[in-house]
Amino acid sequence: MKDKSKNKIIGAFLGTIVEYYDYSLYGFSAGIIAAKFFPNSDHLTSLMNVFAVYSVAYLSKPIGSLIFGRIGDLYGRKVALSITIIGIVIPTLIIGILPDYNTLGSWSTFVLIICRFMQGIFIAGEYDGAAIYVIEHLGEKYQSTASAITRCTGVIGLLLGIGASNFFSARIFPEWGWRIPFLISLPLALIATYYRQKFDETPQFKEMQRNKVEHKSLGTLIKEQWQLIIIVIFLAGSFGVTYQISIIFMKQYLPLVLPQTSFIISTFSVLIVICFAAAMPIAGLIADRLGQMIVIKISLAGTIIASLFLIIAIKYQMVNLALAACLILATFVAPFNALAHGIVVRAFHVGDRYRAIGLGHTIGSMLMSGSANFICLLFIKSFDFKLFPIIYLSSFAILSYFMVRALERRYQAKSLNK
């Protein structure tokens, strides 16, 4: 790969790292945010409030997909991605300096909600755009690998987020140390912005511009492609649920059902993310050689088996089995998330791709994955149903399999009709 192409792709990857770092800080800092901004409730209720605010960003994502999807399809991926990185970091910085509930009262909660809402708008344009940008640069031969590596770089952001939140929340730091990771987002964003100055449009987008392909309105796009967009909605939502519960929520969930893990959960949650990250490029490479459907089938089987192990471990309070099951679960959930854009990118024309994928992804996130953590806590609190998160995750893993299968059938039918 030429040095210029490397710089373009590095810029996309760095932006994804910053996006996931900023976005994950809130989830990984849920415990301390609950104490600082929702201090007048019991711990479980405070966590529910934190994850209710967490889901606010998912409500605003469809707005971001409409804004940046239009920019990306009409003016180019470069223009859209140059804006999103700036918009993501500003709300993160505000959270880092925001006075807590004891200082500002309910105003602190209001500002927190606004920050998450604004962050969701810009994040909606960032990850889908970066994934499309890298896939279009590397071409069809490496479609799954490009999708997987883009997602994996996002997980590097997760690792940075969980590492920073754990490190600066340690007792060796002052009480306000939890704010430092939020402030670190600024230099990270500046580095990503520097590399994004080297961006160029993708070969496929340039070809579309040369051919002067007519740009469809959003209404026309939805009218013509509504069935595919619905499949993307369910696919993105189900992939997102598997990720939210097995990766983000697990740090809060395990101590609730296995109190013995509370002493090691901060360190162990890092191992969960590492397993999640390591499995992604492997899944992408295998999918490009053997086919995406094979990898998805293996992923589903592994997810169900790991879920059964985790249910047994919780029921009989078997800590070692529970920890092992969590690592296995993270490994087999990874391909669902890694291959997502590689699976759906073929469904849409270059001039429709940013909007269609972004809209489907963000609506699915809003309806399903964004609320997953809150729904799980609600069922635990209301019905004392502690196994609900695992059953919920497994159900969406099965749903995602059928959505991938539906897309594959459409691709096969399209190939036969050519």
418 residues of the chain, pLDDT tens digit each: 445 555 567 777 888 888 888 878 887 788 888 888 888 778 788 888 888 888 888 889 999 999 999 999 999 888 888 888 888 889 999 999 999 888 898 899 899 999 999 999 998 888 888 889 889 888 788 899 999 998 898 888 888 888 888 888 777 777 788 889 999 988 888 888 887 777 778 888 888 888 888 888 999 999 999 999 999 999 999 999 999 999 889 988 999 999 999 889 888 988 998 999 999 999 999 999 999 999 999 999 999 999 999 999 999 999 999 999 999 999 999 999 999 999 999 899 999 999 999 999 999 988 999 889 889 999 999 999 999 999 999 999 999 999 999 999 988 877 766 5
The separation between CA 345 and the C-alpha centre of its own chain, rounded to angstroms, equals 17
Cβ(389)–Cβ(245) below 8 Å: yes
| b (16+ CB within 10 A) / e for 400-412 | bbebbeebeeeee
Report the CATH number at residue 407.
1.20.1250.20
192: nearest Cα among 76, 84, 67: 84
Task: Give the pLDDT confidence score for residue 4 in this predicted structure.
Answer: 54
In total, the chain counts a number of residues equal to: 418
Q: Which long-range contacts (CB under 8 A, 24 or more apart) does 218-223 make?
A: 218/66, 218/70, 218/355, 221/352, 221/355, 221/356
In sequence order, which residues have a C-beta less than 8 Å from that of residue 212 and are 6 or more positions away? none
Residue type at position 123: I
Confidence at residue 85, expressed as pLDDT on a 0 to 100 scale: 84
**DSSP character at residue 170:** S
User: What does pTM read for this prediction?
Assistant: 0.85
Domain count across the chain? 1
Domain that holds residue 268: 3-417
